[in-house]
A and B are shown apart, each in its own frame.
Chain A
Amino acid sequence: MEATASHSRVEPVRPRGLAPLWVCVAVAFLLVSLVLGVVSGPVDIGIGPILRSLAEHLHLPGVTSSLSPTEDAILWQLRVPRVILGALVGAMLALSGATYQGVFRNPLADPYLLGVAAGAGLGATLAIAYLPAGLRGQQVLPLAAFLGGIAAVVAAYAVGRSAGRERDAATLILAGVTVASFFTAVQTFVQQQNSDTLQQVYSWILGGLPTTGWSDVWLILPYVVVSAAVMLMHRRVLDVMSVGDEEAASLGMNVRRTRLLLVVAATIGTAAAVAVSGLIAFVGIIVPHAIRLMTGASYRALLPLAAVGGAGFLVLADVVARTALAPAELPIGIVTAFFGAPFFALVLRTSRAGSR
């Protein structure tokens, strides 16, 4: 009895690697989400016809699709790209959130911590308010949001650096909060000066996966791949950083440079995700924590699991957004917070109770 008790007390301290069980669970979750995402929607297509259509699109011999041209267009030009975009955005937000939490050793860190959201919001609002209507379509709005997000983080970094080298992480967070407030103030001012754009701006800020086909997927894919690769390659470094800046430095690590690199990667990825989907709340903070609480994983295992879990979570949230009030839509940010928060509370409760 005594032995088992002391054993279970020691276990959570040891950083765990990628347990095969949890990898299988995460991948299965993502697959189920993807299938649900493709199968469900306001238009009922049915799994059999979808599979036949998939086979035809893969040029399998002897299979012909039974879908009407309209159903084919709905499936392949609207639904599938939206599901894939949701997976990319969800993976990016959860991965960036986990990285920020590690880099700043702050459990409350989320991908919007250094002002990406406020900056992207300002960029989008400026584009909506001041660009001629013809220009502002699908290409310019994401670009403006992307550049705004990057600009905010660069400003936060500059402010944080000028403030002093001691307590680097905390200073940076405060700089992020400062810059975010400032950008939000300017954004609100521009919006208020152009109240005719209110509906558009508001709709963008609520967040949502657009039904714009494959173009948005191709638009963000390069950023997502590169920044995800950088973060995943540094996942062991995050475990080292989690013991503290000085300790990590004494282990021969250039803490500031690594932190900068990871922040740049997370920022570019988040800015790309936000540029196409607006501000989707909660994914970046809830998914990494839920996974951490369920699996007790260290960053080494947490990052890949968060990416896979975040992808599945956002695809599922979008299924709810598309179908709950079908044929009307719900803003996805409402869904992620509404379902994410109670789920997180549940995980928090059971895991705290279990570790006692």
Chain B
Amino acid sequence: MLRRLLVFVAVAVIAGMLVGGSTAAPNDTPFPVTITAGNGKVTFARPPSRIVSLSPTATESLFAIGAGKQVVAVDDQSDYPKSAPKTTLSGFTPNVEAIAAYKPDLVVASYDPKGLAEALRKLGIRVIIHNAAATLPAAYQQIRQLGLVTGHRDEATRTIGRMRSQIARIVATTKGRATGLSVYHELSPDFYSASSSSFIGRAYTLLGLKNIADAADGSGSGYPQLSGEYIVSASPDVIVLADSVCCGQKPSTVAARPGWGTVKAVRTGSIVRIDDSVASRWGPRLVNLFRALDSAIARLKA
């Protein structure tokens, strides 16, 4: 009798593991679980199985931590990973009915336009608002929370650990070489840039680079529009183009700009192109930015 019971339990456990591995019933988090997101406390009695992500960053994170199978729809800007179920839903002008039509049990968004969260709450749909992260720890925290509520706590912890160690390794090797070098991060061809108080700007601070946009960011907005004269006279050692996809900017177009021939980064060819979306999100692909900077600085110093 006892033996049969033990066998039964073992079979049940194994079956549960198989099911957990193959479908949307992961269980490495003790449920119920409560997190505090941008819209306050949200409690989950069990992991959601129909997630709608209106935030490209959340989409990347959900797939990175193995919760991709629980995602039924992502917004029109979520272009990574390619396997994400991209729809015409908009996180920018969201339509509550269109979202509800996917019968989600969780909606993740990066901001809450026009009472989106309240409207979804009335429909009994849980909402997590993960605003743009201002710091690396805040970005990690969002990944950790997504891991907790989707039942992928361990994978989220591993993802964060990987990001941490890769970034730390790059910082360790690059910081010595980069100290004293200046950087210009270009968001658009009319010279919007990101200063050290922006999320992306912190990456440059970590690497010991001097950000030329800081002098122009008196208001601390993080994203000042620089004067072209100033960029040329500041003559940055490294230029990072985060407007290559949107606006077709590349090293040759930068070099062809009037007056830019004298800029150090143009003379040494230290112009890095980084996918616009990597530079504007705060998800797991952030490591790519560090890698690109690492190789550019290594080339510059070689």
Contact = CB atoms under 8 A, between A and B. Distances in A.
Interface of A: 41-43, 69-71, 73-74, 77-79, 81, 132-137, 192, 195-200, 203, 208, 210-215, 322, 325-331
Contact of A327 (B215, B246, B259): B215
Contact of B93 (A81, A192, A200, A213): A192
B7 to A, nearest CB: 57
A221 B203 CA distance: 44
Contact of B228 (A78, A132, A199): A78
B132 to A, nearest CB: 14
Interface residues of B, number: 38
Nearest to A326: B227
B233 A71 contact: yes
Given A134-B248, A200-B246, A322-B227, A73 B216 contact: no
A208 B190 contact: yes
B80 interface: no
Nearest to A210: B190
B258 A78 contact: yes
Interface stretch (B13-21, B122-130, B217-225): B217-225
Interface string B144-160: 00000000000000000
Contact of A328 (B188, B217, B244): B217
B261 interface: yes
Contacts of B31: none
Contacts of B77: 195-196
Contacts of A134: 248
A73 B232 contact: yes
Given A133-B247, A192-B93, A200 B188 contact: yes
B44 interface: no
Given A70-B233, A74-B233, A195-B93, A329 B225 contact: yes
A196 B246 contact: yes
Nearest to B225: A329
A42 B229 contact: yes
B212 to A, nearest CB: 8
A133 B248 contact: yes
Contacts of B247: 133, 136-137, 200
Given A42-B227, A73-B258, 19 more contacts: A69-B262, A70-B232, A73-B262, A79-B229, A133-B244, A133-B247, A135-B248, A196-B246, A199-B187, A199-B192, A211-B191, A211-B227, A211-B229, A212-B257, A213-B259, A214-B258, A322-B227, A327-B234, A331-B225
Counting chain A CB atoms within 10 Å of each CB, the highest count among B77, B227, B245, B246 belongs to B227
A195 B227 CA distance: 26
Interface of B: 76-77, 90, 92-93, 187-192, 215-218, 224-230, 232-235, 244-248, 253, 257-262
7 closest cross-chain pairs (CB), A and B: A213-B258, A211-B228, A133-B248, A327-B230, A328-B216, A77-B259, A73-B259
A36 B189 CA distance: 26
A74 B259 contact: yes
B216 A327 contact: yes
Contacts of B244: 133
Contacts of B253: 137
Nearest to B77: A196
Contacts of A325: 216, 218, 224
A255 B161 CA distance: 77
Contact of A329 (B93, B226, B232, B248): B226
A79 B217 CA distance: 22
Contacts of B228: 78, 211
B232 A197 contact: no
Contacts of B192: 199, 203
Contacts of B76: 195
B229 A78 contact: yes
A43 B188 contact: no
A329 B233 contact: no
Given A196-B246, A328-B226, A43 B233 contact: yes
A211 B228 CA distance: 6
